[in-house]
Chain A
Amino acid sequence: MGFRSYLLRRLGYAVIVLLVILTLNFILFRVMPGDPEKMIIDPNFKQEAKAALRKQYGLDDPPMVQYKNYMLALLRFDLGLSFNTQRPVWDELKERLPNTITLFLVTFISTAAVGISLGVYSAANRGRFAERFVVGAGLFAHAVPGFFVQLMLLLLFGYYWPILPIHGTMSAPPPDGALAQFLDRAWHIILPAGSNLVMGFGSWALYTRNTMLEALGQDYILTARAKGLPKRDVLYHHALRSVLPPIVTLIFMSLPGAVSGAVITESIFSWFGVGRYLLDATLQMDYPAAQGAFYLIALAVIISNLAADIAYGLVDPRIRVGAGGTK
């Protein structure tokens, strides 16, 4: 099987998964307890007024009609109007996406960089205090509930030692000038991204340490050492390079988790993003808004998985050939 066939097959799976998710997305909001009508219809309205509004919003339509309308609308990328705001859901998501992507990228890059570096460092210092410290700190940060860490950091740097902003992506009002605004935004992202870094570096560090330790025990490393290569070259050019494929996979596989983790971070730090939007919409039974946010997150997850599959296929031909198959 060639790479094209492999790619097409993966794309086909992705489309099927997307359809299943969208269908579940539709069903989930309709079977969960609660009544969305209460969000859009004043309880004190007369019965005639309530009936007119139910008709206006299509809440009277049979479920299959609602499902058909929902799927056709999604194909057009029409996510509908939010019950809560009466604004197009896509407009609302577009406003929030840049903030979520910024927070995500800063968090992801910093966490990966710190986690992998510490993993390599602790592997190179096996048995020493540095390794024990990294492993202990990593396990602790990984085990403590994320929201607790974030609230503690909010209290520490927002109240007891008030040196960092506690909400938003910018000062109100922001300073004049592009550079000042950039620095202002950087100052605001320190606490949310920093808290994510504290929570997330542990798993990266531990995974990297373990794979590095395994690699450092291999014969080719012994050979490299025997050849008299400097320790640094052995560590980075031989051992780290050999463990990069599984780490790259880990990077792609952790993308969905990072996206969904935004819900808590954005709520605690009043960060104007998609995660907070999803939480509000779900709590308020705002079907179109919640479905729109889920749709976006589902797309992000499926694309991440697809990217992981493609990366796998590129770096390891055995994957695209398939189990037991030959080219």
Chain B
Amino acid sequence: MPRKYRLILALALTVALAIGAAGVPGAAAVKFEDWGPHVDEIIMPIIKNADARRIAFERGESIVWAGLTKPTDIDQAKSLPYADMKMTLGFHMFYLCFNMRKGPLDAQPLRQAIAHLTDRDNIIRTLFKGYMLPMSSFVPQVSPFYNKNVPFYEFNAKKAEEVLKNAGYKPDGTGKNWIDPKTGKPLPEMKIFTPTYEVAPTSAELGKMIADSCQKIGLPVKPEPMDFNVMLDKLDIGEFDMYCLAWSLSKLPTFLHSFFHSSMDVEAGYNRPGIHNPELDKVLEDLYYANDLKAARTAADKAQLILAREMPYVPLYSRPYIDAFNKTQVTGYVDMNGFGAASYNNPWTLLNIRRVDRFGKAIEGGTIRWALSEEPKNLNPITASSAYEQEVLSKVFDSLTVSHPDTLEDMPWMAEKWDIGTWDVEPGKKGTTVTWYVRKGIKWSDGMPFTAEDVKFTIDYLKENECPRYLDATMDIVKTELIDKYAVKVYFNSVSYWHFYNAGISMLAKHIWKDVKDWKTFQPWLEPHPTIKGYTKLVGTGPFIMKEYRPGEFVRLVKNPNYWRLKPGK
């Protein structure tokens, strides 16, 4: 399908979802604001079973049915008169990967031909009832670094044959294979690894569809579903021809370096196709060590063009975030590109969501119930790593910067501004510096002031203790320097624009953490606060305070009375 039609299809899908539940009077729309929160309490029951979560939404015991992926669930949610469907583009990418280390898939024309034999639109229509977006670039469309000029390999069997013939491949006469010009022999059988039908039925079927399409022009491609862990082990040691899997990517395009730089082609490394291309390496290094945003954009654009030519992956589709909110209970939830309306990465829904009265009018205060799909288990902000823990911690902690919900551009938040510069690490070697200017008047949830000293303490603490989750982020930091009570400068040992994101990590309250003896076993949510009765040591600057956590049952959060953004314009 031509690009313009696919865009129309995507827009139509968005509109269809947006109006899918039309017909019932909805809540009044609330303008997006950068202050809040507007509810007094959030109760998060932990409901692990997916059917039970659906039932909880339908019984009104959760205001959201988040992260819908199955077409049956989406259709079910759309059929509920009180469900308000939200769809947002995501950073998800499903792809077909080639092993470029060995023949016959080390040949670019063969990979390009298979790209032409991949019918994305049919896959999306057949397997996902249209609830996916076709993908042609190596960076998701929602990313600020997406290059819209990347050439698209349309589904066209004749074109695939033409590519093969132009490269010297010849049909072997049986109609069941082609003669490889390099070896002069028929092409060997090529397998597409996928997880099994029991574990991931759509992935397994998708592998079969691509293989069928290849077989129609005589390419000996076969699907091979297998145990997921066995498959990962084979990928780690490069024992495969092709496989289908998904990535959950991020706003930063540095993943291109991880996936396609030749230095990453090591055992269990993430350059799984094994691409070694000096031109690409150079561009990816320019991207990884870019001085500024402009240089980063230029390098990301070039990298995407080279990748589209070399075709180590065939990008297939991207899954949007689809969430259903109960509009008879709440309003004000905000779509955020790349993350969805109900994601913990989206601070805007948290600030803007409001209860509605029985006439659909937004009201201040009250309690909302928001189901968690997993146990948060560990609420130590240094060691917590899963998304389920971030579901809670993201409501208790705040960050120096935030991303704009539409453009994803960095916005000042607890830091009112920042400077990015360079310094001399040693004669002849430059490094990046990031200076944070912290906003005045911010308080921790226990009432203590938040200052640049907390920022410096946090970075020094994470670096000195080699905390695993932050090891990569702090590895390049040489030192920190307190300029005054509200400014701190961070020095890095190399030049890279991305160091900016390495310096913007979750903040720790110095007055609490300076006395922590063992950060690994510290359980701040269980230890009583040293001075305030009824509080714990889980002290943050976010909009909520964790009031109660009953493992396996629920998490209860209440509005932080000391939150710095309770009123507009502050």
Contact with A along B246-268 (1 / 0, CB 8 A): 00000000110010000000101
A33 touches B520 (CB 8 A): no
**Interface pair B47/A46, CB less than 8 Å apart:** no
Provide the residues of chain B in CB contact with A170, threshold 8 Å.
Answer: 550, 553
The complex places the Cα of A67 from the Cα of B520 at a distance, in Å, of: 23
Point out the residues of chain A lying under 8 angstroms from B475, CB to CB: 46, 48-49
Please, which residue of chain A has its CB at the minimum distance from the CB of B61? A166
Q: Which residues of B contact A174 (CB under 8 A)?
A: 550
Which residue in chain A gives the minimum CB-CB distance to B258?
A44
Q: Does A233 contact B (CB under 8 A)?
A: no
User: Knowing A34-B233, A81-B520 touch, does A166 contact B550 (C-beta < 8 A)?
Assistant: no
B383 within 8 Å of A (CB atoms): yes
When C-beta atoms are compared, the residue in chain B nearest to A159 turns out to be B55
**A87 contacts B378, CB within 8 Å?**
yes
Q: A33 contacts which of B43, B233, B380, B468 (Cβ < 8 Å)?
A: B233
Nearest-CB distance from A29 to chain B (Å)?
12
Per-residue 0/1 for A167-182: is the Cβ within 8 Å of any B Cβ (1 yes, 0 no)?
1111011100000000
Question: Using an 8 Å CB-CB cutoff, how does the interface string of B1-25 with A read, 1 for contact, 0 for none?
Answer: 0000000000000000000000000
- Asked whether any CB of chain A lies closer than 8 Å to the CB of B185, the reply is no
A254 beta carbon closer than 8 Å to chain B = no
Known: A159-B55, A272-B553. A87 touches B377 (CB 8 A): yes
Interface CB pairs A-B, < 8 A, 15: A35-B233, A43-B258, A44-B270, A52-B471, A56-B468, A81-B521, A86-B378, A96-B551, A159-B59, A167-B49, A168-B45, A168-B552, A168-B554, A272-B375, A272-B553
Which B residues lie within 8 Å of A41 (CB)?
468
Q: Which 3 A-B pairs have the closest CB atoms?
A: A272-B552, A172-B554, A33-B229
- The answer to whether B102 has its CB under 8 Å from any CB of chain A is no
B469 within 8 A of A: yes
List of A residues within 8 angstroms of B482 by Cβ? none
Q: Is the CB–CB distance between A34 and B58 below 8 Å?
A: no
Check B52 for interface membership: any CB of A closer than 8 A. Answer: yes
A218 interface residue per 8 A CB criterion: no
Interface, chain B (partner A; CB < 8 A):
43, 45-49, 51-52, 55-56, 58-59, 227, 229-230, 232-233, 236, 254-255, 258, 266, 268, 270, 369, 375, 377-378, 380, 383, 385-386, 466, 468-469, 471-472, 475, 520-521, 523, 548, 550-554, 556
- Least Cβ distance of B120 to chain A in Å? 26
In the complex, A324 Cα to B270 Cα: how many Å? 65
Q: Is A256 an interface residue (CB 8 A)?
A: no
Chain A interface residue count, CB cutoff 8 Å, equals 52
Task: Check if B377 sits within 8 Å of A53, measured CB to CB.
Answer: no
List residues of chain B with CB within 8 A of the CB of A32.
229
Q: Are A167 and B46 in contact (CB under 8 A)?
A: yes
Are the CB atoms of B59 and A162 closer together than 8 Å? yes
Whether A40 is near chain B, meaning CB under 8 Å from some CB there, is yes
Question: B472 and A49: CB pair below 8 A?
Answer: yes
Contact residues, A147-170 vs B (CB, 8 A): 151, 154-155, 158-159, 162, 166-170
Judged by a CB distance under 8 angstroms, whether A269 is at the interface is yes
* A279 to B, closest residue via Cβ: B48
Min CB–CB distance A183 → chain B (angstroms) = 16
Residues B45 and A167 in contact, CB atoms below 8 Å apart: yes
Kindly state the separation between the CA atoms of A174 and B51 in the bound complex, as whole angstroms.
23
A219 on the B face (CB < 8 A)? no
- In the bound complex, residues from chain B placing their C-beta under 8 Å from that of A162 are 55, 59
| Interface-central residue, A46, A49, A172, A267, by most chain B CB under 10 Å | A172
Q: For the complex, is A95 an interface residue (Cβ under 8 Å from B)?
A: yes
Is the CB–CB distance between B552 and A96 below 8 Å? Answer: yes
A84 contacts the other chain (CB 8 A):
yes
Which of B369, B523, B553 has the most chain A CB within a 10 Å cutoff?
Answer: B553
